């Protein structure tokens, strides 16, 4: 499946999604860097670890002026439970039709127990205060990832 029309140094594709605190759009935090992290599913080991890592560094991201949002195809209700269970201090956005996942090119063929399926490839995007895509991480390995993203935010 082809990636979205993303290019480092170009404006990030705009979108609006329902989330744990209502509708959220990419332009919701103008003048601040935005960290969008796409993850496969709520309440799975890797996704929980990743969310907890971003939560642990949340105060440092805020001090650097950045807004973090997590995005997956799960429902808003699933996100609310996931967010409450782990006290995530940032919003989780629901993309049930995978429209934004497609826009950002994170839908990939995956394999599990010998079967192929299309799913979300763990990916993160750093968008600067002017709405320009500055960095992307694909096929994210969770360990140390939040720290690497924070370093990139601080380098803006």
Query: Cα separations (Å) of 125 from 81, 90, 114, 152?
Result: 24, 16, 30, 11
129: Cα separation from own chain's centroid: 17
Q: How many CB atoms lie within 10 A of CB 155?
A: 10
Determine how β-strand 67-72 pairs with β-strand 91-94. parallel
Query: Per DSSP, which regions of 64-154 are E strands?
Result: 67-72, 91-94, 107-112, 115-120, 123-127, 133-137
Active site residue 47: yes
> Which entry of 26, 36, 47, 127 is annotated as an active-site residue?
47
Give catalytic residue positions: 47
């Amino acid at each position: 499946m082809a990636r979205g029309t993303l290019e480092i140094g170009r404006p990030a594709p705009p979108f609006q999604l329902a989330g744990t605190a209502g509708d959220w759009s990419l332009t919701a935090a103008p003048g601040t860097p935005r960290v969008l992290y796409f993850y496969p599913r709520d309440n799975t080991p890797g996704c929980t670890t990743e969310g907890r890592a971003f939560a642990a560094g949340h105060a440092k991201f805020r001090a650097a002026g950045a807004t973090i949002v997590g995005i997956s195809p799960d429902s808003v209700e699933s996100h609310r439970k996931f967010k409450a269970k782990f006290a995530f201090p940032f919003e989780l956005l629901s993309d049930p039709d995978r429209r934004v996942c497609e826009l950002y090119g994170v839908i990939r063929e995956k394999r599990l127990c010998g079967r192929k399926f299309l799913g979300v490839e763990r990916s993160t995007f750093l968008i600067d205060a002017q709405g320009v895509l500055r960095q992307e991480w694909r096929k994210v390995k969770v360990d140390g990832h939040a720290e690497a993203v924070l370093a990139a935010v601080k380098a803006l």
